[in-house]
Amino acid sequence: METISINRSFGGTQGVYKHASTATGTEMTFAVYLPPQAEAPGAKLPILWYLSGLTCTHANVMEKGEYRRACAELGIIFICPDTSPRGDDVPDDGGYDFGKGAGFYVDATQAPWSQNFQMYSYITEELPGIIADNFPADMARQSITGHSMGGHGALTIALKNPGVFRSVSAFAPIASPLNCPWGHKALGGYLGVDQAGWRAYDSIALIEDGARLPEILVDQGAADNFLVEQLKPELLQAACEKAGIALTLRMQPGYDHSYYFISSFMDDHVRWHGARLI
């Protein structure tokens, strides 16, 4: 692991790091905020993962997310992975919603994507190992959140790994890739045309097939341009009601899909997770 930068912030440190990934076959960059409590001898602190959306890298939430004050107060490590493999040899697509910057947190099975686009394994297996080996992280106390494509990632990863995360939340998640254009393009390209294989990466399908979480917090901007066609929070609400999952869905009037929206409610989410990471 190589350190790219370290900056002091709210008494803690905001770091950016890179390493050679065996999952993706590329160098991967990620950011970690260590609160001031991390400097105490023998400290082991809880973790909040943040998965970013389409076109983003680790830097978007790091620079615009406004999470550090709450994390410093509560003693939470905040981890920001990238959204896809990068590099000149990595296959790409001309659109913003597929290829680089759009890994969709799946393990691709279709050529040429399968060689590098193993983001599910990277997020659930490889990067947690890097974190455990290099930071004062209590791996028994993890929570996860994310935005848009990253909200989809947070929901599906938590549903597929029961007991790993103390809590899960999302900002404007893609609730059901099976039922939106972004999902059809991404899952069709990465996994092939058989939609039966897509169900493992669709939160609604996972709930229908028996996966459960105790509770979920979702904030959704009511003025989000992608709300009707791509995000469909009503599908998540219906699935949770049927399955007995306690979903708190907060429709926020006037808010769009941007980091103006995310940063407005980030403090709420960090504190909500913090109460469950004690």
What's phi and psi for 267, nearest 5 deg? -60, -45
Q: Active-site residue 21, yes or no?
A: no
Please name the residue ranges forming H helices in the chain.
59-64, 68-74, 119-121, 127-134, 149-160, 181-191, 203-208, 233-243, 259-276
Q: In what order do the strands lie in the sheet with 2-9?
A: 2-9, 12-20, 27-34, 77-81, 45-51, 137-146, 165-171, 215-221, 246-252
Residue tagged active-site, from 97, 224, 269, 273: 224
> For the CA atoms of 168, 170, 153, 58, what is the dihedral angle to 10 degrees?
-110
Q: Active-site residue 169, yes or no?
A: no
Q: Active-site residue 257, yes or no?
A: yes
Residue tagged active-site, from 21, 52, 143, 148: 148
Q: What are the tokens at 103?
A: 């890994």
Residue tagged active-site, from 58, 147, 152, 257: 257
Distances (CA, A) of 176 to 103, 198, 229, 245: 16, 10, 11, 16
Q: Which amino acid is residue 66, in one-letter code?
A: E
Q: Which amino acid is residue 237, in one-letter code?
A: Q
Which residues are known to be catalytic? Answer: 148, 224, 257
